[in-house]
C-alpha cells in the first residue's frame, strides 16, 4: 500500500515536474520567439536606417554634384567672360541688330501692316544668331569682357536713332519713351564699369584735335545744308529777308536799314538793338551774298565746342569726360536745329556766353568785360542772361564787387538800349509779349514784376502748361535734368532766364525749339550741367554723361533728319531752274518798288524798296513790280486780284512769275 502510494506520489511529482518543464519550455520558446522577432525588427529597422541613410547620401550627393557643377560652370563662364547677364545682353544686342537691319530696309515701323509684310524672317533670325554667336565667340577667344556691353550700347544708340529719325515728325513723347528704355540699359552698362570706361586713356592732344574737328565738321555740314534753303528758294522774309536786305544797306550806307521789317524804310535797331552785326559786316564785304549769313551763323554755333573744351579743362575734368562733353555740345538737339530756320542774332548768344563763362573761371577781368559787352551788343534782352551770370558770380564765385558791377552795368545798358529802340522805332521794346501780366493799364517791366510778386500762382499757371512741357523736355532731357540734382543753388540760378524769355510768355515762338529763342538758355544749361556733373560721384557721373551722349544723339536725329531731307528735297526740285530764276529777278532795277511773295523776297535783297504780300501793316499799293510764287496757288491768286489787271507778265522761270505795272 505504501509502495503504491509512493509510486503514485512520485508519478504525480514527476508529472508536475514535467508540466513545469513544459511550461518553462513554452516560456523559453516564447522568449526565444520574441527575441527572434526583436532581432528581425532590429534588422529591419537597421536596414531601413541603412536605406534611408543611403537615400540621404544619394540626395546630398546629387545636390552637391549640381552645386559643384554650377560653381564650376559659373567659374568657367567667368573665365570666358560669358556670365548669364552678359549672355542676356548679347541676346538683346543680337535682336537689336536684326531690328536695325529691318529698319534700314523699311524704316516706317509705325505703319504696322506694310512694315510687317516687308520683314524677311530668315534674315531676321540669321542676323540675330550670327551676331549673338560672333559676340560670344570673340569674347571667349579674345577674353574681352567689354565687347558685349559695348556692342549693346552701340546697337541701342543706332536703333534709337533710327526709330526717332524715321518718324513723320519729331515727337517729344516718343523720345521720352526711347530715353526710358535706354536709361534701363545704360544703368546696367555703367554699373561696375562694364563698358570699361575707367580703362580708357585719352590724351590732351586727342581732346583738342577732336574739338577742332567737331567744330569744322558741324560748321561745314550745317553751313552747307542751310545754304540749300536759300538755293531752293525756301527762306522767308521773317527771319531772313530782313537781314539780307539790312546787310546790303549796311554795306552801301553803313546803316542797318530795311523796308520789309515794318513795311517802311527804317532802322532794324528800332526793333532790336544789335550793334553786334557790325562785327559780321567785314565778312559780308568779302562774301557779298545772303548765303554768307547762314554760313557765318553755322560757324559761330559750331565754335561753341571750343569754349566747352576749355571750360572742361578749367574745371578739372578728365580727358575722356572732356571728350564726351565736346560731343554732347556738338549733338545738343536745340542748337543746330534752330539753324534750319534761317538767320537771327540770338543764335550768336551761345558761343559768347560760353567764352564769357570760361574767362569767369579764369578770373580774367579784361576778357570778362570784353565778352560781357559783346553779349549785350547781340540784343537788348541779352541783359537778362548777363544778369543771371552776375548772380552766379556773387553766389558761387563769391566775387561780390565784380558781380554787383556787372548787374549795375547790365541794368544801365538795358535802359539805354530800350530808349534807343523807342527813338528809332514806333513799337518800342516788344513788351506786348508779356501782356498777360499787365494790370491797371500799366505796360512796363515794373508792372510785370509787381504782378509776379503779388500773384505767384498766376505765374506758375502761365509757365507750366501743356504746350510748354515739350519745350522743357527738349531743353533739359538731353542733359538728364542734371542742374536739378545739384546740392547747390548756383546752377539753378543760371537757369533763371528761362522764365522771362521762354516760359512766362504766351507767344508760341518763345518756347518752340525750332526757332531762335533756345540759344541763350542752351548755353546756360550746358554750363549748369558741367558744374553739377563735376561734383557727382564717379558712377553717377558716368551714368549722366553716357546717358546724355545717347539722348543728345537720338533727339538731335529726331529733330534734324526730317529737316535735312526737306532741304535736299526742295533744293533738288528747284536746282534745274535756279539760274534762270535768278536771271529773271536780276532784270528788276534796284531802285524800283517791288511787292513779292515772302519766299522770293530774300533773293531781291538788293532792291531798296521792297514789300511782301500779304502784309498786315501796310495796305496794298501799286508798286512797279509784283513777283509771284506759283508754288502757293492761293497766295498767287490773291496777289493777282490785288494787281487788278494793271500789270503785264514780263517773264516766268521755274516757280516765279514777274509782272510789271502798265504805263
Q: Mind giving me the DSSP string for 40-79?
A: HHHHHHHHHHHHHHHHHHHHHHHHHHHHHHHHHHHHHHHH
Banded pLDDT at 24 (limits 50, 70, 90): low
What residues pair up with 267 in beta bridges, in sequence order? 257
CB burial of 250-284 (b: ≥16 within 10 Å; e: otherwise) equals: beeeeebbbbbbbeeebbbbbbbbbbbbeebeeeb
Query: What mean pLDDT comes out for the span 406-418?
Result: 93
> For residue 35, what pLDDT is reported?
54
Quick one: which H or E segment has residue 492? Answer: helix 490-493
Nearest to 601 by CA among 575, 635, 637, 573: 635
Which three cell numbers, joined as nine digits, stand for 14? 514527476
Banded pLDDT at 66 (limits 50, 70, 90): low
Quick one: which H or E segment has residue 660? Answer: strand 656-661
Compute the distance between CA of residue 547 and CA of residue 634 in angstroms, rounded to an integer: 47
Q: Are 452 and 437 in contact (CB under 8 A)?
A: yes
Choice between 485 and 15, residue whose per-residue pLDDT is larger: 485
Q: Of 31-40, 120-129, 321-330, where does mean pLDDT reach its minimum?
A: 31-40
Q: Is the dihedral of CA 174, 175, 176, 177 positive or negative?
A: positive
> For residue 22, what pLDDT is reported?
56
Q: Are 473 and 543 in contact (CB under 8 A)?
A: no
User: What single DSSP character describes residue 624?
Assistant: S
Compute the distance between CA of residue 508 and CA of residue 468 in angstroms, rounded to an integer: 9
Three-state SS letters, 209-223: HHHHHHHHHHHHHHH
Count CB neighbours of 355 within 10 A: 22
Q: Are 260 and 596 in contact (CB under 8 A)?
A: no
Banded pLDDT at 299 (limits 50, 70, 90): very high
Banded pLDDT at 524 (limits 50, 70, 90): very high
Choice between 202 and 110, residue whose per-residue pLDDT is larger: 202
At 14, is the secondary structure helix, strand, or coil? helix
- Supply the DSSP string of 512-523, one letter for each residue: -TTSGGGHHHHH
Compute the distance between CA of residue 11 and CA of residue 126 in angstroms, rounded to an integer: 110
Choice between 433 and 625, residue whose per-residue pLDDT is larger: 625
Compute the distance between CA of residue 157 and CA of residue 299 in angstroms, rounded to an integer: 27
Q: Are 339 and 361 in contact (CB under 8 A)?
A: no
> For residue 434, what pLDDT is reported?
73
Strands 593-597 and 625-629: parallel
Rounded to 5°, angle at Cα 340 from 334 and 346: 60
Compute the distance between CA of residue 381 and CA of residue 153 in angstroms, rounded to an integer: 42
Judge whether residue 204 has pLDDT over 80. yes
Which residues neighbour 649 within 8 Å (Cβ) at sequence distance 6 or greater? 657, 658, 659
Banded pLDDT at 1 (limits 50, 70, 90): very low
> For residue 143, what pLDDT is reported?
86
Q: At what angle do helices 172-190 and 147-165 cross, to 10 degrees?
A: 180
> For residue 27, what pLDDT is reported?
55
pLDDT, one tens digit per residue, over 140-164 is: 888 889 999 999 999 999 999 999 9
> For residue 304, what pLDDT is reported?
97
The single residue listed with the C-alpha cell 500773384 is 455
> For residue 158, what pLDDT is reported?
95
> For residue 166, what pLDDT is reported?
86
Give the C-alpha distances (Å, rounded to integers) separating 485 from 177, 478, 488, 492, 531: 21, 14, 9, 10, 11
Banded pLDDT at 288 (limits 50, 70, 90): very high
Judge whether residue 269 has pLDDT over 90. yes
What residues pair up with 618 in beta bridges, in sequence order? none
> For residue 141, what pLDDT is reported?
87
| 326 burial level (CB within 10 Å; 0-12, 13-18, 19+) | buried
Judge whether residue 131 has pLDDT over 50. yes
Amino acid at each position: 500500500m505504501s509502495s503504491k502510494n509512493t509510486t503514485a506520489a512520485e508519478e504525480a511529482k514527476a508529472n508536475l515536474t514535467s508540466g513545469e518543464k513544459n511550461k518553462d519550455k513554452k516560456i523559453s520558446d516564447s522568449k526565444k520567439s520574441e527575441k527572434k522577432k526583436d532581432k528581425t525588427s532590429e534588422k529591419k529597422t537597421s536596414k531601413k536606417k541603412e536605406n534611408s541613410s543611403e537615400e540621404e547620401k544619394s540626395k546630398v550627393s546629387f545636390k552637391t554634384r549640381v552645386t559643384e557643377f554650377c560653381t564650376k560652370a559659373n567659374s568657367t563662364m567667368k573665365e570666358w567672360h560669358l556670365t548669364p547677364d552678359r549672355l542676356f545682353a548679347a541676346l538683346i544686342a543680337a535682336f537689336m541688330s536684326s531690328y536695325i537691319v529691318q529698319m534700314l530696309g523699311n524704316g516706317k515701323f509705325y505703319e504696322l501692316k506694310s512694315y510687317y509684310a516687308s520683314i524677311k524672317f530668315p534674315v531676321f533670325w540669321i542676323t540675330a544668331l550670327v551676331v549673338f554667336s560672333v559676340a560670344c565667340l570673340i569674347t571667349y577667344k579674345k577674353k574681352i569682357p567689354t565687347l558685349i556691353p559695348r556692342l549693346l550700347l552701340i546697337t541701342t544708340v543706332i536703333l534709337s536713332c533710327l526709330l526717332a529719325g524715321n518718324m513723320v515728325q519729331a515727337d517729344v513723347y516718343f523720345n521720352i519713351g526711347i530715353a526710358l528704355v535706354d536709361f534701363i540699359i545704360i544703368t546696367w552698362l555703367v554699373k561696375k564699369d562694364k563698358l570699361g570706361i575707367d580703362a580708357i586713356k585719352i590724351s590732351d592732344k586727342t581732346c583738342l584735335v577732336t574739338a577742332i574737328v567737331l567744330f569744322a565738321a558741324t560748321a561745314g555740314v550745317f553751313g552747307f545744308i542751310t545754304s540749300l534753303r536759300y538755293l531752293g528758294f525756301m527762306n522767308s522774309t521773317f527771319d531772313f529777308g530782313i537781314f539780307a536786305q539790312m546787310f546790303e544797306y549796311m554795306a552801301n550806307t553803313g546803316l542797318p536799314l530795311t523796308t520789309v521789317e515794318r513795311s517802311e524804310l527804317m532802322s532794324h535797331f528800332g526793333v532790336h538793338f544789335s550793334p553786334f552785326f557790325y562785327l559780321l559786316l567785314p565778312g559780308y564785304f568779302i562774301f557779298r551774298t545772303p548765303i554768307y549769313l547762314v554760313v557765318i551763323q553755322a560757324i559761330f554755333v559750331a565754335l561753341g565746342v571750343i569754349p566747352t573744351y576749355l571750360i572742361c579743362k578749367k574745371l578739372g575734368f578728365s580727358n575722356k569726360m572732356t571728350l564726351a562733353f565736346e560731343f554732347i555740345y556738338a549733338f545738343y538737339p536745340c542748337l543746330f536745329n534752330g539753324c534750319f530756320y534761317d538767320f537771327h542774332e540770338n543764335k550768336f548768344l551761345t558761343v559768347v556766353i560760353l567764352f564769357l563763362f570760361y574767362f569767369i573761371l579764369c578770373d580774367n577781368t579784361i576778357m570778362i568785360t570784353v565778352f560781357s559787352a559783346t553779349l549785350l551788343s547781340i540784343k537788348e534782352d541779352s541783359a537778362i542772361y548777363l544778369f543771371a551770370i552776375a548772380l552766379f558770380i556773387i553766389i558761387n564765385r563769391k566775387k561780390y564787387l565784380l558781380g554787383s558791377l556787372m548787374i549795375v552795368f547790365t541794368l544801365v545798358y538795358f535802359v539805354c538800349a530800350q530808349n534807343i529802340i523807342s527813338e528809332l522805332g514806333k513799337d518800342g521794346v516788344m513788351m506786348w509779349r508779356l501782356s498777360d501780366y499787365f494790370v491797371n493799364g500799366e505796360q512796363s517791366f515794373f508792372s510785370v514784376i509787381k504782378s509776379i510778386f503779388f500773384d505767384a500762382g498766376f505765374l506758375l499757371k502761365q509757365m507750366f502748361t501743356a504746350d510748354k512741357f515739350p519745350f522743357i523736355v527738349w531743353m533739359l532731357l538731353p542733359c538728364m535734368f542734371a542742374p536739378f540734382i545739384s546740392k547747390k543753388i548756383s546752377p539753378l540760378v543760371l537757369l533763371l532766364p528761362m522764365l522771362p524769355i521762354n516760359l512766362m510768355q504766351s507767344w508760341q515762338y518763345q518756347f518752340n525749339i525750332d526757332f531762335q529763342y533756345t540759344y541763350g538758355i542752351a548755353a546756360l544749361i550746358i554750363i549748369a550741367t558741367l558744374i553739377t556733373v563735376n561734383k557727382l560721384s564717379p558712377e553717377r557721373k558716368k551714368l549722366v554723361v553716357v546717358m546724355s551722349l545717347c539722348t543728345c544723339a537720338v533727339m538731335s536725329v529726331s529733330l534734324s533728319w526730317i529737316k535735312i531731307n526737306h532741304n535736299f528735297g526742295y533744293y533738288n526740285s528747284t536746282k534745274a531752274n535756279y539760274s534762270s530764276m535768278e536771271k529773271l529777278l536780276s532784270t528788276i532795277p534796284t531802285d524800283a518798288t517791288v511787292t513779292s511773295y515772302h519766299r522770293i523776297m530774300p533773293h531781291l535783297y538788293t532792291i531798296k524798296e521792297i514789300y511782301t504780300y500779304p502784309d498786315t501793316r501796310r495796305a496794298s499799293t501799286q508798286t512797279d513790280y509784283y513777283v509771284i510764287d506759283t508754288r502757293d496757288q492761293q497766295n498767287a491768286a490773291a496777289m493777282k486780284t490785288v494787281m487788278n489787271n494793271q500789270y503785264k507778265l514780263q517773264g516766268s522761270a521755274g516757280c516765279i512769275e514777274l509782272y510789271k505795272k502798265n504805263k
